[in-house]
Amino acid sequence: MARQRKHPLVFWVSALPPSLWLFGFFLAPLAIVWVLSFGEKRGLIDVEITWTLANYVRALDPLYLGVVAKSLWISGVTTVLCLMIGLPVALGIVFAPGRWKPILLFLVILPFWTNLLIRTYALIAVLRTRGYVNFTLEWGADTLGLPFEPLALLYNNAAVVIGLVYVHLPFMVLPLYAALDRMDKLLIEAALDLGASQLRAFVTIVVPLAVPGIISGVILVFIPALGSYLIPDLLGGTDSQMIANVIERQFKRANDWPFGAALSFLLMYLTFGALAIRSVLAKGDGGLEAK
């Protein structure tokens, strides 16, 4: 690695274009939004930057605070569910016979490659009153001779959670797999040899070693879930609004750009806060990083 002074021409030629783009088409826009969050609406389109904190204060209004709280809650539940499903799945892949491992991993990540919108849309067909889940349940109930009431699985918080879990599950499985795969299987054998039961061995040996993977997975699920727009929009009901939906409304319908700007930045602060927590936790683990 050389200092940039050694070959100044090469350095500047390779540094200038991306830096200019980054600054002009990313950082500058963000800066403008930040400034905008301190503005007030004057009429239909005009905004005056008065450096007021009114927008941020308004964000703390119970109405909006409720949305934030709900977003945090939904993201949290999603993360927990992903963890509960993801851990056994990751374990299953780790302990699968060698040639199955890459296949299973591929199968887990393949859905991720399909468009988010399409995946969400596909879920609608599955979850709605006359959708596949209810069909199967109805068929099951009929076979067993039980009365059947279709489940309301769409246009409510449950649907949003199901959708978020559906979309983010691969992001939990992969880091867990990476962390668990590095684990020395002999450690479990040693525990069993010393007399621990399967469950005990699992809880005392496997779980602690999986912690870096768990941390990675939690962050990789929680943060995107927090900022998600499409899933609450398409799958949620009128009271399943999350932060991103409120922001969208400010720009597309309510036309209150300063307020939307303030909300955007609040979401960003939440995101960075979560990332900061992650770095702190990761360092506390002796730097055991699992990607």
Partner 1 sequence: MKVRDNARRIQPGPLEYTRQAWMRMILLATFVFLYTPIATLVAFSFNDSRRNIVWRGFTTKYYEKALANDGLIEAFVNSLSIAFVSTFISIILGAMTAFMLWRFRFPLKPLYEGAVTLPIVIPEICMGVAMLVFFARIGWPTGLPWPLNLGQIAIAHVSFSFPFVAVVVRARLASFNPEIAEAARDLGAGEWAVMRDAVIPHMRPGLLAGGLLAFTLSLDDFVITFFTSGPESVTFPVKVYSMVRFSVTPEVNAASTVLVVITVTVTALALWIQNKQSSEARG
Calpha distance 39→259 (Å, rounded): 8
Residue with tokens 């299973």, as numbered in its chain: 104
**Which CB, 29 or 66, lies closer to partner 1?**
29
Q: Bin 287: left if φ > 0, else alpha if -120 < ψ < 50, else beta.
A: left
CB of 113 to partner 1, least distance (A): 5
Segment 119-158, which members bind partner 1 (CB under 8 A)?
A: 119, 121-126, 130-132
Kindly state the number of chain residues that form the binding site for partner 1, as judged by CB under 8 A. 82
Segment 29-48, which members bind partner 1 (CB under 8 A)?
A: 29-30, 32-33, 36
Which of 210, 219, 215 shows the shortest CA–CA distance to 177? 210
**Which CB, 145 or 254, lies closer to partner 1?**
254
Q: Which two tokens stand for residue 14?
A: 């390779």
From 16-24, 58-66, 139-147, 153-161, give the range in contact with partner 1 by CB under 8 A. Answer: 16-24
Calpha distance 261→45 (Å, rounded): 15
Asked if 64 interacts with partner 1 (CB under 8 A), we say no
CB of 7 to partner 1, least distance (A): 6
| DSSP letters spanning 158-182 | HHHHHHHHHHHHHHHHHHHHHHHHT
**Residues forming beta bridges with residue 48, ordered by sequence position:** 40
Segment 260-289, which members bind partner 1 (CB under 8 A)?
A: 260-261, 264-265, 267-268, 271, 275
From 7-15, 66-74, 146-154, 210-218, give the range in contact with partner 1 by CB under 8 A. Answer: 7-15
